[in-house]
């Protein structure tokens, strides 16, 4: 491969590598103390990536029809095709790697939350009820209410059965939660219940993360 072809190859790979690093880097940033705005950037660039994939396939199809009768267009067509494959293929690997970072970060978050969940368990055992607000735990059961350690989702919150909410997300129970919603029109929470009973959640993506419950409903 001569230097011209190498340059073309690297140019074609660059967009895919950009999206790979972007998805992984921004997902990592979401879970950092300074990552407050990353979730909106993730949303925007995810849609840009999807749009580029669709437009790239359509453009390659059109170029294929044109280039089949023009030898001079075969190299530009090959470059375009390689670029589209780079965006889709390497970008998809980036999304997969970002998912790994995401779930690993949630596991770490669950570990960091253990002092708080232990305090809730002790409160429930001693008081024979669940706290109406997190400040009920201080100072007897925990010295101070911790933050989540994530700039994008900084606070632990309590949901009580009498709080307003949407029926399909099962709001009839007490739970500790972190609001992880990133997009308009989506609902995403990481929930903790001392009794471990999460059976009322009927819709959406559901997954146990340690002794917490990951619940997503959206598009």
pLDDT > 90: what percent of the chain?
A: 45
Give me the pLDDT at residue 188, please.
84
Is the same domain home to 10 and 93? yes
pLDDT digits (tens, 9 = 90+) for 149-176: 888 888 999 988 776 654 445 455 788 9
Is the same domain home to 8 and 100? yes
Residue 123 within any structural domain of the chain: no
Give me the pLDDT at residue 166, please.
47
Paired with 157 in beta bridges are 177
Phi and psi at 205, nearest 5°, equal: -80, 130
Q: Which helix (H) or strand (E) holds 84?
A: helix 74-112
How many structural domains are present in the chain?
Answer: 2
Tell me how far apart the alpha carbons of residues 51 and 195 are, in angstroms, rounded to a whole number.
44
Residue 118 within any structural domain of the chain: no
Q: Is the Cβ–Cβ distance between 166 and 160 less than 8 Å?
A: no
Is the same domain home to 97 and 196? no
Residue 116 within any structural domain of the chain: no
Tell me how far apart the alpha carbons of residues 64 and 77 are, in angstroms, rounded to a whole number.
7
Could you tell me which of 198, 32, 195 has the C-alpha nearest to residue 117? Answer: 195
Give me the pLDDT at residue 61, please.
85
Is the same domain home to 81 and 136? no
DSSP symbols for 24-35:
HHHHHHHTSTT-
Give me the pLDDT at residue 29, please.
87
Phi and psi at 184, nearest 5°, equal: -65, 135
Spans in the chain with pLDDT lower than 70: 1-5, 36-38, 69, 163-172, 182-186, 200-204, 218-219
Residue 24 domain boundaries: 3-111
Is the same domain home to 25 and 85? yes
pTM beyond 0.85? no
Give me the pLDDT at residue 134, please.
94
Distance from chain centroid for Cα 49: 16
Residue 40 within any structural domain of the chain: yes
Is the same domain home to 141 and 70? no
- Other beta carbons within 10 angstroms of residue 86's beta carbon come to 22
Is the same domain home to 107 and 138? no
Q: Is the Cβ–Cβ distance between 91 and 23 less than 8 Å?
A: yes
**Burial (0-12, 13-18, 19+ Cβ within 10 Å), 20:** buried
Is the same domain home to 90 and 142? no
């Amino acid at each position: 491969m001569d230097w011209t072809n190498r340059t073309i190859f690297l140019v074609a790979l660059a967009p895919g590598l950009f999206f790979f690093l972007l998805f992984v880097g921004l997902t990592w940033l979401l879970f950092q103390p300074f990552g407050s705005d990353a979730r909106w950037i993730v949303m925007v660039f995810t849609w840009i990536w999807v749009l580029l994939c669709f437009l790239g396939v359509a453009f390659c199809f059109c170029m294929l029809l044109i280039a089949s009768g023009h030898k001079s267009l075969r190299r530009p067509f090959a470059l375009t095709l390689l670029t589209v494959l780079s965006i889709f293929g390497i970008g998809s690997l980036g999304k997969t790697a970002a998912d790994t970072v995401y779930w690993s970060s949630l596991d770490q978050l669950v570990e960091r939350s253990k002092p708080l969940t232990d305090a809730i368990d002790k409160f429930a055992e001693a008081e024979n009820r669940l706290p109406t607000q997190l400040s009920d735990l201080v100072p007897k059961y925990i010295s101070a209410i911790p933050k989540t350690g994530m700039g994008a989702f900084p606070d632990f919150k309590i949901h009580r059965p009498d709080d307003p909410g949407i029926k399909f997300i099962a709001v009839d129970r007490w739970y500790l939660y972190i609001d992880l919603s990133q997009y308009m029109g989506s609902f995403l929470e990481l929930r903790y219940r001392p009794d471990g009973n999460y059976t009322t959640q009927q819709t959406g993506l559901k997954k146990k993360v340690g002794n917490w419950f990951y619940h997503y409903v959206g598009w």
